[in-house]
Amino acid sequence: MKTPYKFLPLISPTYRTIRKVYQSFKYAGQEVNCPICDRNFSSWLRQQENGTCPSCDSKTRHRLLSLFLKKHSRIFDQPCRILHFAPDQCLRAKFQNRHNLEYTTADLSAPGVDVHTDLTNLIFDDNSFDAIFCSHVLEHIPNDRAAMSQMYRVLSPNGIAYIQVPYNRYEKTDEDPNVTDPVEREKRFGQFDHLRVYGVDLKERLESVGFQVKEEYYARQLDKSDRQRYGVWDDVIFCCTKLDRNNTTDI
Ligand SMILES: [Zn+2]
Residues 21 and 18: their CA atoms lie apart, in Å, by 5
Quick check: 1 pLDDT over 50? no
**How confident is the model over 28-52, as a mean pLDDT?**
89
Distance 116 CA to ligand 1 centre (A): 27
pLDDT band at 75 (very low <50, low <70, confident <90, very high): confident
Q: What are phi and psi of 34, to 5 degrees?
A: -90, 115
Least confident of 45-49, 74-78, 160-164: 45-49
Distance 182 CA to ligand 1 centre (A): 31
Does 101 reside within a domain?
Answer: yes
Q: What are phi and psi of 222, to 5 degrees?
A: -100, 150
In sequence order, the β-bridge partners of residue 80 are 101
pLDDT band at 225 (very low <50, low <70, confident <90, very high): very high
Residues 229 and 41: their CA atoms lie apart, in Å, by 10
132 touches 138 (CB < 8 A): no
pLDDT band at 246 (very low <50, low <70, confident <90, very high): low
Q: What is the pLDDT of residues 112-157, one digit of tens each?
A: 999 999 999 999 999 999 999 999 999 999 999 999 999 999 999 9
Does 6 reside within a domain?
Answer: no
Distance 242 CA to ligand 1 centre (A): 31
Question: Could you give the percent of the chain with pLDDT greater than 70?
Answer: 92
Residue 180 structural domain: 60-241
Does 121 reside within a domain?
Answer: yes
Query: In whole numbers, what is the pLDDT of the chain averaged over residues?
Result: 91
Does 22 reside within a domain?
Answer: no
Distance 244 CA to ligand 1 centre (A): 36
pTM exceeds 0.85, yes or no: yes
For residue 128, the domain's CATH number is: 3.40.50.150
Does 5 reside within a domain?
Answer: no
**What are the C-alpha distances in Å from 98 to residues 55, 101, 199?**
20, 6, 34
Stronger pLDDT, 187 or 22, i.e. the higher one: 187
Distance 37 CA to ligand 1 centre (A): 4
Does 17 reside within a domain?
Answer: no
CB proximity list for 148: less than 8 A, separation 6 or greater: 138, 205, 206, 208, 209, 211, 240
User: Which is nearest to 84 in space by CA: 27, 46, 130?
Assistant: 130
Distance 46 CA to ligand 1 centre (A): 15
Quick check: 2 pLDDT over 50? no
**How confident is the model over 213-232, as a mean pLDDT?**
96
Distance 91 CA to ligand 1 centre (A): 10
Distance 48 CA to ligand 1 centre (A): 14
Distance 29 CA to ligand 1 centre (A): 13
Residues 64 and 231: their CA atoms lie apart, in Å, by 8
- Note the Cα 69 to chain centre separation in Å: 12
Tell me the CB-side half-sphere exposure of residue 41, using CA atoms within 13 A: 33
Distance 215 CA to ligand 1 centre (A): 25
Does 30 reside within a domain?
Answer: no
108 touches 3 (CB < 8 A): yes
SS3 131: strand
Pairing of strands 80-85, 115-116: unpaired
Q: What is the pLDDT of residue 248?
A: 56
How many domains does the structure of the chain reveal?
1
Distance 200 CA to ligand 1 centre (A): 31
Does 11 reside within a domain?
Answer: no
In what side-by-side order are the strands of the sheet with 129-135? Answer: 115-116, 101-107, 80-85, 129-135, 155-164, 237-241, 212-216
Q: What is the pLDDT of residue 239?
A: 97
8-state DSSP, 115: E
Residues 193 and 81: their CA atoms lie apart, in Å, by 30
